[in-house]
Chain A
Amino acid sequence: MSLPAEQFDDATQQREAATLGMWSFIATEILFFGVLFAGYAFCRVEFPEAFKEGSRHTDLLLGTAETADLLISSCLIAVAVREVQLGGQRIATWLIGSTAALGLAFLVMHGFEYVSEYHEGLMPGIHYTQSGQGATAMQLFFCLYYFITGFHSLHVTVGVVILLVMARRTYRGDFDQDYHTPLEMSALYWHLVDLVWIFVFPLMYLIGRAG
């Protein structure tokens, strides 16, 4: 059993400090994305029709697949932490690797979306060929879309790298029933990525689908 760092009384206190720090970080991340969502709410109240029209230009099938992908990956990493806690390092390594693979699949799917949106002329300032009523206001929707999904994809990329490092460390046997805090914190980060996407999906992909 690895000894707690010098400033802590015992392993329990050390773990509590780590989780509290991680949750504080998650709260700041909620506010980081929250600002973008507040901007979204503001612009959507101003231009409801343009936002519905913009939403209809997104790819619902890929969006749904990406949501399912992240939800499944979240479950896998949750089970992986449980396995390590119960001594199943081998299966946990596979589960963490699969989570990273699903993260990568998410990035590939989103990459395809960006490419087809570029070809459709939906990138304000880069390649925007929309015209007609509401096309100007629709640029706001797409600016927010690229900022929110872009920052989210950046978080997914960081998450995949962290997960790969954790898979390697689990494989090497760095974690056991007593010590696995880095893996637990990485899992929390990965769930955060999932949480953000849970709100991106309805707000970006679903609002203009009715009627």
Chain B
Amino acid sequence: MSERSHRSGPKPPTSRMNLWVLVALLALLALTVGSAHLELGPFNVIVSLAIAIAKALLVMTFFMRLNTDSPLLRIVAACGFAWLSVLIALAIADLLTRT
């Protein structure tokens, strides 16, 4: 098997793994649509964002292969989200602390 996998990058994940990730993603989709109809107050937002983050992590880890590829890529990916969180956090902090 190893001599058939390509030489310049990490070994590809199995088809079964890809399908399980898809099943998990679709299950999370059903969960987020279902939970959106429940009256949870402020937790509606928290639950739907937590599910979205879980889905994004699944896609990045397995479909985009951050788990097996170079660690440098994980740093670059994390940088994008880190700057984004700074952007949103400071914008909201300004808005919430106005008097």
Contacts and interface: CB of A to CB of B under 8 A. Distances in A.
Interface in A142-181: 177-181
Nearest to B85: A34
Interface residues of A, number: 60
Contact of B5 (A16, A68, A177, A198): A177
Contact of B64 (A42, A82, A188, A201): A188
A202 B32 contact: yes
Contact of B84 (A30, A179, A181): A30
A30 to B, nearest CB: 4
Interface in A19-40: 19-20, 23-24, 26-28, 30-31, 34-35, 37-38
B91 A209 contact: no
B72 to A, nearest CB: 6
A125 interface: no
A202 B45 CA distance: 8
Interface string A50-85: 000000000010001001100110110111011001
Given A15-B9, A71-B29, A85-B12, A198 B88 contact: no
B21 to A, nearest CB: 7
Contacts of B48: 202-203, 206-207
Interface in B28-42: 29, 32-33, 36-40
Interface string B58-93: 011011100001101100110111011001100110
**Main secondary structure on chain B at its contact with chain A?**
helix
Interface residues of B, number: 53
A45 B96 contact: yes
A108 interface: no
A152 B5 CA distance: 34
B63 A42 contact: no
Contact of A211 (B4, B12, B21, B39): B39
Contacts of A82: 12-13, 15, 18
A41 B88 contact: yes
Contacts of A178: 6-8
Contacts of B25: 71, 75
Given A42-B95, A198-B52, A210-B36, 20 more contacts: A10-B8, A16-B72, A30-B80, A34-B88, A35-B87, A38-B88, A41-B92, A45-B96, A71-B22, A71-B25, A74-B59, A75-B22, A86-B4, A177-B5, A178-B6, A178-B8, A191-B59, A191-B60, A202-B48, A206-B44
Interface of B: 4-9, 12-13, 15, 18-19, 21-22, 25-26, 29, 32-33, 36-40, 44-45, 48-49, 51-52, 55-56, 59-60, 62-64, 69-70, 72-73, 76-77, 79-81, 83-84, 87-88, 91-92, 95-96
